[in-house]
């Protein structure tokens, strides 16, 4: 290939026929879609009928890399997964730390497309150009840690990279994740789709290398990074010292915007008990990092005393402290550490699990469900024993765990009684710990995000930092579009969004200056922005084919009607007329139809996606 | 019993398990320095993780026993200036040195099939220089010989 950072081929792996074939990655394709997110959405749009069930044999799981995997660019030690989600029914991607992304490159590929369904539990072992379909029958039912260890032992390689699902994925828990080492491709149920394909794990070992286009310019950029990163407090001090739990004080206390008790409030009185400072002081064991990352924001924490003494986990991150902690009314960090590690081991997303549980706790306290439904357990806020016990029960779909495995939107529809109003989700995806009421951008961001309630489509960081006024309505659509473009490029490269603090919350020349030395694209900012819009329009087109329209771009009723009741952000929320105004602005700027939210043909053609417009027309959708 | 017979110093890249974050930047720095490419298969240092807190560093320790030199059937390995040196003309790529090293400090280069062993990057090890956590340090210890 003309460009660097690529191996020029993607491997399609068919689990039904146990055959593989390679798909060439052309220079034009690489430049148009970059990698990761861009590659995956193009392949999935072409290969998957979005109207089919996510667990149908025809669904495809993309495991992708971008040009950054395998080199030492800070935060590039990641890999990217995408599929049609069993939780949202839409296009869904999940990015995780893990050296397996580099290994895919070293093995000679830019990514894998996993199709079909194995007849028996299987794991894949890819070693350079060779693919083995190995039996996973003795691994079926095993936790993610043990699965990885058993595969490393079987292959005889203690440094082997393995991505595995847990029992939650096997049992089609709709928010089952994929675990590599101790990090998760957490959200949206990629693990459940792998489970439906009876694929327990993917192990990759490559003996090749990856290189950059312009080593001198790259080295200069690395020096620039080292100098500039020192000046960014979040990257230089906050994340290395405390990791993301530092946000408990800034979001929970200072801003009063950390959802608590299923968002009945956003000010958690006992915030100090679950703060990053306390975690560091009393629970910290060591810093850990995703590969190639000098920031090392990840930490191993363990409970040295108390009820949950002995609990140990890499994590929890801020989102998990929110979901298992403040949302469930639990202020014991030992319990949160225990819950974090159990969710990883059983293989499910901590955010959705915690928000799902807090929803049930509110339903229980409102009398919509009773002890008869909950196997006799008191589902009251603050019940840490229930929070811990129901991780395994959800993974096994036992008792009410079977309902919890469905996610809060489906659960609300089953429970009824108006409970959908307080199911904290958008498009079926539970909202993480960044307030849709205290941050105007997140209200619009969650509403319009491809994935729904995700803080990695739009980003809250710029509003926290004051780069965009968190209360403003005017100009918010442009801001949200900008952050969504930035995350899309980040997910295509594939690197960590935490670089936003250094390179810009929206796309800037600094992003361009990082990409060109590696790839040799010679992008301008304008071309890079077009790539981002192309990818976002393709995601939207995929979702439009599943039936998503403007009516679905909204928030839980609670957020549209109930102001934050107390604390520093008291009174804040975005009502329906305000959201509608921002949506009008958003569609106008995007070039999407203001009535339907479908990308216009004119816009699609301008993005080089005429075939996508034709495809929508063929499906009976006017654009 | 060991007796110090020569006061020459020998180098050691010391690994601090408490500080290591498992970022593998050392591996990428090593391969970049030696081959101007990135890849763990051509890195002379490898960090292994087993469990949340158990990390291991695989690298040549310049051990007293020189298991690799003893194991080499073609006498391709020798100890010079603090490093194990490979004579490519004598090496038959049998891999016996790899198997003999209890510290897992030797790999065969995937293309040349020659043993690759830490050579301290001409005295200024790039793994030490680039480790963001200060987990690797170059120290000099007294050479101990029986």
Q: How many CB atoms lie within 10 A of CB A250?
A: 15
Q: Using an 8 Å Cβ cutoff, are A505 and A490 in contact?
A: no
What is d(CA A328, CA A352) in angstroms, rounded to the nearest whole number?
12
Q: Estimate to the nearest angstrom the gap between the alpha carbon of B4 and the chain centroid.
A: 23
* Phi, psi values for residue B92, rounded to 5°: -110, 15
The end-to-end CA distance of chain A, in Å, is 35
With an 8 Å Cβ cutoff, is B50 touching chain A? yes
What is d(CA A447, CA A440) in angstroms, rounded to the nearest whole number?
11
Chain A residues with beta carbon closer than 8 angstroms to that of B32? 72
What is d(CA A206, CA A150) in angstroms, rounded to the nearest whole number?
19
Minimal Cα distance from A101: which residue of B? B39
**CB-nearest partner of A210 from B38, B110, B132:** B38
Residue B142 lies in a domain: no
A208 with B41: Cβ contact below 8 A: yes
- Domain range A243-429, CATH architecture: Orthogonal Bundle (1.10)
- Closest chain B C-alpha to A60 CA, distance in angstroms: 29
A158 with B50: Cβ contact below 8 A: yes
B52 with A206: Cβ contact below 8 A: no
For the segment A45-61, the average pLDDT, to the nearest whole number, is: 97
Q: What is the pLDDT at residue B1?
A: 44
Q: Mutate one of A286, A341, A517, A518 to test the B interface: name it (highest B CB count within 10 A).
A: A286
**Count, residues in chain B:** 146
What predicted TM-score, i.e. pTM, was given to this entire model? 0.97
Residue B13 lies in a domain: yes
Residue A148 has pLDDT above 50, yes or no: yes
Indicate the SS3 state at residue A37: helix
B133 with A287: Cβ contact below 8 A: yes
- Band of pLDDT at residue A12, cut at 50, 70 and 90: very high
What is d(CA B76, CA B73) in angstroms, rounded to the nearest whole number?
8
pLDDT of A190-233, one tens digit each? 999 999 999 999 999 999 999 999 999 999 999 999 999 999 99
Q: What is the pLDDT at residue B8?
A: 73
Residue B111 lies in a domain: yes
For the segment A125-140, the average pLDDT, to the nearest whole number, is: 97
* Phi, psi values for residue A201, rounded to 5°: -160, 160
**CB-nearest partner of B110 from A72, A77, A207:** A207
- Closest chain B C-alpha to A102 CA, distance in angstroms: 8
Q: Mutate one of B28, B30, B116, B136 to test the A interface: name it (highest A CB count within 10 A).
A: B28
List the domain range (segments joined by +) for residue B81: 9-132
pLDDT of A66-121, one tens digit each? 999 999 999 999 999 999 999 999 999 999 999 999 999 999 999 999 999 999 99
**CB-nearest partner of A288 from B22, B25, B38:** B22
Residue A585 has pLDDT above 90, yes or no: yes
**Closest CA relative to residue B72, chosen from B58, B93, B55:** B93
- Closest chain B C-alpha to A295 CA, distance in angstroms: 8
- Classify A5 in phi/psi space as left (phi over 0), alpha (psi -120 to 50) or beta: left
Question: What's the number of domains chain B is made of?
Answer: 1
Minimal Cα distance from A72: which residue of B? B28
pLDDT of A222-281, one tens digit each? 999 999 999 999 999 999 999 999 999 999 999 999 999 999 999 999 999 999 999 999
pLDDT of A502-531, one tens digit each? 999 999 999 999 999 999 999 999 999 999
For the segment A285-305, the average pLDDT, to the nearest whole number, is: 97
- Domain range A438-618, CATH architecture: Orthogonal Bundle (1.10)
**What residue ranges do the domains of chain A occupy?**
9-205, 243-429, 438-618
What is d(CA A301, CA A278) in angstroms, rounded to the nearest whole number?
11
Indicate the SS3 state at residue A97: strand
Indicate the SS3 state at residue A155: helix
- Closest chain B C-alpha to A285 CA, distance in angstroms: 8
A158 with B52: Cβ contact below 8 A: no
- Band of pLDDT at residue B9, cut at 50, 70 and 90: confident
CATH number corresponding to A9-205: 3.60.9.10
Q: Mutate one of B23, B33, B112, B131 to test the A interface: name it (highest A CB count within 10 A).
A: B23
Q: Mutate one of B24, B51, B116, B135 to test the A interface: name it (highest A CB count within 10 A).
A: B24
Q: Using an 8 Å Cβ cutoff, are A570 and A256 in contact?
A: yes
Complex confidence, ipTM: 0.95
Q: What is the pLDDT at residue B145?
A: 57
Q: Using an 8 Å Cβ cutoff, are A13 and A112 in contact?
A: yes
Residue A496 has pLDDT above 50, yes or no: yes
Residue B77 lies in a domain: yes
**CB-nearest partner of A314 from B35, B52, B110:** B52
A441 Cβ contact partners less than 8 Å away, ≥ 6 residues apart: A458, A460, A462, A463, A468, A470, A476, A479, A480, A483
pLDDT of A462-485, one tens digit each? 999 999 999 999 999 999 999 999
């Amino acid at each position: 290939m003309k460009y660097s950072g690529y191996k020029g081929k993607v491997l399609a792996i068919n689990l039904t026929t146990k055959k593989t074939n390679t798909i060439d990655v052309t220079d034009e394709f690489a430049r148009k879609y970059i990698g990761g997110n861009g590659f995956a959405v193009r392949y999935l749009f072409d290969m998957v009928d979005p109207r089919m069930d996510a667990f149908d044999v025809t669904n495809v799981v993309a495991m992708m890399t971008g040009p950054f995997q395998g080199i030492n660019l800070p935060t590039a030690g990641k890999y990217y997964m995408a599929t049609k989600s069993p939780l949202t029914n839409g296009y869904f991607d999940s990015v995780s730390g893990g050296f397996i992304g580099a290994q895919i490159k070293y093995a000679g590929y830019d990514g894998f497309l996993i199709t079909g369904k194995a007849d028996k539990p299987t794991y894949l072992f890819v070693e350079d150009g060779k693919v083995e379909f190995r039996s996973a029958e003795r691994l079926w039912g095993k936790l993610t840690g043990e699965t990885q260890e058993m595969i490393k032992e079987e292959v005889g390689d203690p440094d082997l990279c393995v991505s595995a699902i847990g029992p939650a994925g096997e049992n089609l828990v709709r928010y089952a994740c994929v675990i590599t080492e101790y990090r998760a491709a957490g959200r949206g149920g990629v693990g459940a789709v792998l489970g439906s394909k009876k694929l327990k794990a993917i192990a990759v070992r490559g003996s090749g290398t990856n290189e950059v286009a312009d080593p001198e310019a790259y080295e200069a950029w690395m020096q620039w990074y080292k100098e500039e990163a020192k000046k960014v407090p979040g990257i230089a001090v906050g994340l290395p010292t405390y990791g993301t739990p530092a946000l408990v004080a800034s979001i929970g206390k200072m801003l009063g915007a950390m959802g608590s008790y299923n968002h009945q409030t956003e000010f958690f009185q006992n915030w100090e008990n679950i703060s990053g400072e306390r975690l560091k002081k009393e629970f910290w064991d060591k810093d850990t990092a995703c590969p190639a990352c000098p920031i090392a924001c990840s930490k191993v924490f363990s409970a040295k005393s108390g009820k949950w003494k002995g609990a140990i986990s890499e994590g929890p991150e801020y989102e998990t402290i929110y979901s298992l902690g403040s949302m469930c009314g639990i202020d014991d960090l030992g319990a949160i550490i225990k819950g974090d590690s159990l969710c990883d081991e059983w293989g499910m997303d901590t955010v959705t699990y915690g928000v799902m549980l807090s929803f049930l706790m509110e339903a229980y306290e409102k009398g919509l469900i009773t002890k008869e439904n909950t196997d006799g357990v008191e589902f009251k806020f603050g019940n840490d024993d229930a929070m811990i016990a129901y991780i395994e029960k959800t993974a096994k779909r036992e008792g009410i765990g079977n309902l919890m495995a469905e996610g809060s939107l489906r659960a609300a529809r089953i429970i009824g009684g108006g409970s959908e109003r307080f199911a904290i989700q958008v498009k079926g995806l539970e909202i993480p710990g960044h307030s849709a009421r205290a941050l105007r951008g997140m209200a619009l961001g969650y509403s319009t995000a491809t994935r729904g309630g995700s803080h990695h489509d739009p980003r809250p960081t710029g509003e926290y930092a004051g780069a965009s006024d968190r209360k403003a309505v005017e100009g918010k659509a442009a801001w949200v579009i900008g952050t969504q473009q930035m995350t899309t490029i980040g997910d295509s490269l594939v690197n960590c969004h935490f670089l936003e603090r250094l390179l810009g919350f929206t796309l800037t020349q600094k992003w361009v200056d990082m990409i060109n030395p590696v790839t040799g694209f010679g992008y301008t900012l304008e071309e890079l922005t077009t790539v981002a819009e192309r990818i976002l329009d393709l995601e939207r087109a995929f979702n439009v084919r599943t039936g998503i329209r403007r009516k679905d771009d909204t928030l839980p009723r609670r957020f549209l009607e109930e102001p934050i009741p107390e604390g520093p952000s008291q009174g804040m929320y975005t009502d329906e007329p305000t959201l509608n105004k921002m949506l009008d602005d958003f569609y106008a700027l995007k070039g999407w139809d203001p009535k339907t939210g479908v990308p216009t043909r004119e816009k699609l053609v301008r993005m080089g996606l005429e075939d996508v417009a034709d495809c929508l027309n063929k499906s009976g959708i006017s654009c | 019993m060991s007796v110090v017979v020569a006061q020459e110093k020998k180098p050691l890249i010391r690994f601090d398990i408490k500080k290591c974050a498992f970022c593998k930047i050392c591996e990428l720095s090593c391969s970049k320095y030696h081959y101007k490419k990135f890849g763990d298969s051509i890195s002379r240092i490898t960090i292994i993780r087993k469990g949340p807190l158990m990390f291991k560093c695989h690298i040549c320790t310049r051990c007293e026993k020189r298991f690799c030199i003893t194991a080499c059937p073609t006498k391709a390995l020798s100890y010079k200036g603090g490093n194990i040196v490979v004579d490519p003309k004598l090496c038959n790529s049998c891999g016996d040195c790899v198997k003999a090293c209890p510290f897992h400090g030797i790999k065969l280069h995937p293309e040349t099939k020659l043993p690759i062993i830490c050579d301290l990057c001409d005295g200024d090890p790039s793994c030490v220089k680039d480790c963001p956590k200060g987990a690797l340090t170059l120290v000099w210890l007294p050479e101990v010989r029986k």
